[in-house]
Amino acid sequence: MSKGVLRAAHTVVIALKIQATFKAVLDGNIRYHIDPRKDRRYNTMSESVQPSLSYRDAGVDIDAGDALVDALRPIVQRTAREGCLGQLGGFGGLFELPTDRYRQPVLVSGTDGVGTKLKLAFATGRHDTIGVDLVAMCVNDVIVQGAEPLFFLDYFATGRLDQETARAVLQGIGHGCEQAGAALIGGETAEMPGMYAAGEYDLAGFCVGVVEKSALIDGSQIAPGDVVIGLRSSGPHANGYSLIRKIVELSDSNLKSSWHDGTLGDALLTPTKIYVRPLLRLLAEVPVHGVAHITGGGITGNIRRVIPDTMRAMLDSKAWPEPEIFGWLRSQGNIDTDEMYRTFNCGLGMAIVVAADDTTRTLELLADGGEHADHIGCIEPHSGEPRVVIE
The pLDDT tens digits for 213-269 are 999 999 999 999 999 999 999 999 999 999 999 999 999 999 999 998 899 999 999
The pLDDT tens digits for 167-208 are 999 999 999 999 999 999 999 999 999 999 999 999 999 999
Classify domain 60-216 by CATH architecture: 2-Layer Sandwich (3.30)
- What's phi and psi for 278, nearest 5 deg? -65, -35
Domain boundaries, the chain: 3-42, 60-216, 218-391
Per the CB < 8 A criterion, the answer to whether 233 and 273 are in contact is yes
Q: Which amino acid is at 189?
A: T
**Which CATH code fits 218-391?**
3.90.650.10
- What's phi and psi for 211, nearest 5 deg? -150, 145
Average pLDDT over residues 138-163: 97
The pLDDT tens digits for 340-367 are 999 999 999 999 999 999 999 999 999 9
**270-374-294 Cα angle (round to 5):** 50
Q: List 390's β-bridge partners, or say none.
A: 315
Higher confidence at residue 139 or residue 63? 139
DSSP states along 206-260:
EEEEEEEGGG---STT--TT-EEEEEEPSSSTTSSHHHHHHHHHHTT--TTSEET
Within its chain, how far is the Cα of 70 from the centroid? 22
